[in-house]
Amino acid sequence: MELYELTVHELQERLSRREISSEEIVKSIYLRIHDVEDKVKSFLTLTEDLALQKAQEVDRVGSYHSIAGIPMGLKDIFCTRGVKTTCGSKILANFVPPYDSTASRRLDEQQGVLVGKLNMDEFAMGSSTENSAFFSTHNPWDLERVPGGSSGGSAAAVAACEVPFALGTDTGGSIRQPASFCGVVGMKPTYGRVSRWGVIAYASSLDQVGVFSRDVRDCALVMKIIAGHDPLDSTSADVEVPDYAACLDGDVKGMRIAYPKEYLQQGVDDAIKEAIKKALLKYEELGAIVEEVSLPHSEYALPAYYLVAPAEASANLARYDGVRYGHRDFEAGSVVEMFSQSRAQGFGDEVKRRIMLGAYALSSGYYDAYYLKALKVRRLIANDFDRVFNDFDIIVSPTTPSTAFKIGEQSGDPLTLYMNDILTVPVNMAGLPGMSVPCGFDRGLPIGMQLIGRAFDEGTLFKAAYAFEQNTGFHTMKPTLGVK
């Protein structure tokens, strides 16, 4: 095994036994990146000099606790002081923030080593990373296919062993869907679990920071670091963060697992249905109680999402006006022209589409019919989940209705593309924690299983996911970086 293939906890063990140095790991990681990046194209920015410096510093101190000296990647939506942060957009192509996001700062304080900033759909709007203003990222399992999105760079980099773990964000499925497409573990925690401070906003009431890793233990380890209350984010919850590692005991005996019938219809591929059914059998085999339930309002989640998220985005993205930072059209002859030209030139089509949608939904006379109605639907969706969680510990479903599609295959049709998130969006609408773990393959492409938990009960998700992973072993499969 090469160093770049090891997980966070494997690297941590070797570091603490002084078998390897952080510098060796970081060098191995960059060799790997230089080897495969032409094919995968995960990174928008590499921070090699900074990373080597940091690794040497960690080695000099020689205290290898937590993630000290271990490489990591950040979706380019996390502001990093002194390191360019583009959010996948031309409008921020040269933006260098003077501050760090809370989540990345917490990793930095644990001496994690930033390797680079990862590709994404522009402003996290998309499900394929094709909406990046710079280039598309390729799925390591089939380079002609998309890695999913919007955190496609993060998922692909972890799958291709370019980093052992990465952070992403998830507004409607942007962690779970790419994790599923790339065959890695991805967690979107409860809304409010991780601070959004310094994370460039798409839809503030839905955005949540989460983790990509190659196994459940790594995910739990990183979550423990980034989770917790932040006084700088008024929506971050002051709820104690349990010791997630203690949840990894593999014991699901008596755990009550629900599967919503609606999530196994809705045009879900047969191979995916099969994989989920097998996974449920595995859980029963391990002593869990598995029953079918109904989440009747889930079918309204996607339309409601496409009112709430664009509405918030239309306001969140209004600040990119060319006045203080970001792209400005210097040819503009007036203030209004400067606003409109800077934005016309700086934003891509999907971003413009959602800004238009959102501005329309909020406009005078339409607010009640659209935005307010969507908020009511949101309440109903949350009530559905609450009802199920009265009797069950977790909900299991497919993460996506299909496996990774080909680059360009859906890019002309936004509505088809939006369907990718049909199984993940309800979780964001209800603010619940959701996770995707590998549960099989269809013609060589990974299938993801989604686990949904009670608010702030990420621990039970880790418990269930770990038990499944340890008893199946899909997480040990690695892509060959070729074309299928």
Interacting residue ranges for other proteins, rule: CB under 8 A: 79, 85, 87, 92, 95, 97-99, 101, 196-201, 203-205, 231-235, 311-312, 314-315, 318-319, 321, 323-325, 335-336, 339, 359, 362-364, 367, 371
Clarify whether 340 is annotated catalytic: no
**Least distance from C-beta 203 to other proteins, angstroms?**
8
Q: Please identify, using beta-carbon distances, which residue of 382 and 419 lies nearer to other proteins.
A: 382
Q: Please identify, using beta-carbon distances, which residue of 339 and 405 lies nearer to other proteins.
A: 339
- Active-site position among 22, 41, 54, 75: 75
**Least distance from C-beta 384 to other proteins, angstroms?**
22
φ, ψ dihedrals at 269, nearest 5°: -55, 145
- Active-site position among 89, 150, 195, 402: 150
**Least distance from C-beta 382 to other proteins, angstroms?**
16
Q: Measuring CA to CA, how many Å separate 207 from each of 167, 190, 246, 430?
A: 13, 10, 27, 12
Q: Please identify, using beta-carbon distances, which residue of 64 and 197 lies nearer to other proteins.
A: 197
Q: How many residues does the chain have?
A: 484
Nearest-angstrom CA–CA distance, 484 and 145: 9
Burial class (CB in 10 A: 0-12, 13-18, 19+), 335: exposed
Q: Please identify, using beta-carbon distances, which residue of 102 and 180 lies nearer to other proteins.
A: 102
**Least distance from C-beta 320 to other proteins, angstroms?**
8
Neighbouring C-beta atoms of residue 226, cutoff 10 Å: 24
Q: Please identify, using beta-carbon distances, which residue of 18 and 324 lies nearer to other proteins.
A: 324
**Least distance from C-beta 311 to other proteins, angstroms?**
6
Q: Please identify, using beta-carbon distances, which residue of 273 and 353 lies nearer to other proteins.
A: 353
**Least distance from C-beta 443 to other proteins, angstroms?**
40
Q: Please identify, using beta-carbon distances, which residue of 135 and 367 lies nearer to other proteins.
A: 367
- Active-site position among 174, 180, 236, 298: 174
Contact 353, 122 (CB under 8 A): no
**Least distance from C-beta 432 to other proteins, angstroms?**
17
Clarify whether 150 is annotated catalytic: yes
Clarify whether 75 is annotated catalytic: yes
Q: Any idea which residues carry the catalytic annotation?
A: 75, 150, 174
